[in-house]
Amino acid sequence: MRISEKALISELNKALRKHHKDQFRSRRLPQEDIQEPPVIDGQFADEKKFADDTLDHQERDILRIMINYHDAVFTLEDKEEGDKEEPESFNVLEFLLDEIEEDQLLFENDDYRKLFQLISEHMDEHDQFHPNSFINHEDEFVRNLFVDLMTFPYSLDNWEKKDIIVTDEAHKLRRAVLESIYAYKSKRVERMIKANQEALKNLSSPEDDPTPFLQKQLKLEQIKRDINQTLGRTVLH
């Protein structure tokens, strides 16, 4: 079961919008119902943990931020001088759940996918996050993984290691949240770019039209640049 790549690209573009959708977490899908894009191939769950070509590190970071900052809020932009209204605030946990599920993305790591789905179901049922439900979960695996992610939380001070000067905790949190989700999406787009390049190289007949692949390549490269520019990165090819 797989969704079209076109649909995924469209949703990734939406992730770059300036303002989040008004109906926050209005229609979220269970992880088992989410389908994968056709260009992402390979048994990634069987590869070495945190290998360069897996998403384990990004998925773990997302979960750690969700768990450790589940009750924190942040804004996507600062209040400008003269503005009468405060910028819209978003709950960290709900924002990340919405970003993953709105784009119909499926965690590749089986363990992280299971915990993500349990957290999503918990929020649907209770509309509020209760860490003790997972600390005392009946499934020993879930308990251990949850406590592990709480024991080694995501540090907002990681930004200093990346030579990024962030002046206060609110800005650190915003950067951490956006970095986690857009770095994850960026890597998925990079996968799609590589798969499209391989498909282009494997055209066997002179009659095969490379135009669709070239058009797709241009669109994917633009999405990659948009995502990385959102993070304040400079991407060199």
- In 114-163, the DSSP E strands lie at none
For residues 97 and 111, is the Cβ–Cβ distance under 8 A? no
Per-residue model confidence as pLDDT tens digits over 63-75 = 999 999 999 999 8
Q: For the purposes of burial, counting CB atoms within 10 Å of the CB of 3, is it exposed (0-12), middle (13-18) or buried (19 or more)?
A: middle
Average pLDDT score over residue span 148-170? 59
For residues 60 and 149, is the Cβ–Cβ distance under 8 A? yes
Distance between CA 57 and CA 80 in Å, rounded?
A: 35
Per-residue model confidence as pLDDT tens digits over 12-22 = 555 554 434 44
A 10 A CB-CB count for 37 gives: 21
C-alpha distances in Å from residue 80, one per residue of 73, 84, 198? 19, 9, 46
pTM for this structure? 0.69
Average pLDDT score over residue span 104-125? 95
Per-residue model confidence as pLDDT tens digits over 195-204 = 999 988 888 8
